[in-house]
Amino acid sequence: RAPEPVAWLLLLAGPIASSASPADDSGRRGDTSSSGGDEVQRQPHDSSYGTFASEFYDLRYLSEEGYPFPTAPPVDPFAKIKVDDCGKTKGCFRYGKPGCTAETCDYFLSYRMIGADVEFELSADTDGWVAVGFSSDKKMGGDDVMACVHDDNGRVRIQHFYNVGQWAKEIQRNPARDEEGIFENNRVTCRFKRPVNVPRDETIVDLHLSWYYLFAWGPAIQGSITRHDIDSPPTSERVVSIYKYEDIFMPSAAYQTFSSPFCLLLIVALTFYLLMGTP
């Protein structure tokens, strides 16, 4: 004897196999008359597993009209950051190797006005987090911070922090919206909007005012940010206005070594010493 659930499913599937349309019935009657009244012998019902599964699928997953129930639309892929627009339709900051892009810079940020919002795009060479801080000076402390954090589930979440001295405190009031992020090729990349004007709050600044921008990135442990990768993260040289679009490049430490006046003077002295020889 078959288990009761299987017997119940077979009962559900049975009417589907035996049901037929009026056209089928008339066809059968026509076949009977043409064969001199002999009854047409019906084929035995196929009780194989494949037939059962097909009939059960029709019963369970097809609507009354016979069409499959709609499925959720596919998730849109993360749109690639366009660096060709830098300095034209959006402002950009690049930190890293000369000529780097949003996919190759150590750190990248862009901003542009969209209606009453500012859209930010951030990307950094890290598997943890990337952030931008809005500061009244170039020092860490008392700053409004937006961070994109890669958690253990593979998601990139946009979080709001406030710098209390050297410590970043997460703030539950998050002005970000239209958030999206991705972790790919060992990079955290995100895009979000936040209003230009906000109600007065110590932890959230009005972006219609000009601020110094603090750029930082670093590792995360179980979705929580830790200390940034470098001891002295880069900052904007002057206050930034969201109404002015510039494309600003800042060489990373590896590309600053031979550009400082002291190093150039040292190179000249060593070259002179080698050419002239010792006395």
Residue 226: inside a domain, yes or no?
Answer: yes
Domain that holds residue 194: 91-255
Residues 6+ positions from 162 with CB-CB distance below 8 Å: 142, 143, 144, 145, 168, 169, 171, 202, 203
Residue 122: inside a domain, yes or no?
Answer: yes
CA dihedral 23, 24, 29, 34 (to 10 degrees): 100
Mean pLDDT by 10 residues, the chain (279 residues): 46 45 46 46 53 51 49 66 96 96 96 97 96 93 95 92 89 94 95 91 91 95 80 92 96 71 63 64
Residue 274: inside a domain, yes or no?
Answer: no
pLDDT at 129: 96
- Please name which of 88, 78, 118, 82 lies closest in space to residue 101, comparing C-alpha atoms: 82
Residue 171: inside a domain, yes or no?
Answer: yes
CA dihedral 106, 112, 118, 124 (to 10 degrees): -10
Residue 127: inside a domain, yes or no?
Answer: yes
Q: How far apart are CA 7 and CA 29, in angstroms?
A: 32
How many domains, in total, are found in the chain? 1
Residue 21: inside a domain, yes or no?
Answer: no
Residue 35: inside a domain, yes or no?
Answer: no
pTM of the predicted structure, to 2 decimals: 0.66
pLDDT at 28: 46
pLDDT at 51: 55
Q: Are 171 and 177 in contact (CB under 8 A)?
A: no
And the tokens for 190? 């995100």
CATH number, domain of 186, equals 2.60.40
CA distances 75 to 78, 81, 103, 192, Å, are 9, 18, 22, 17
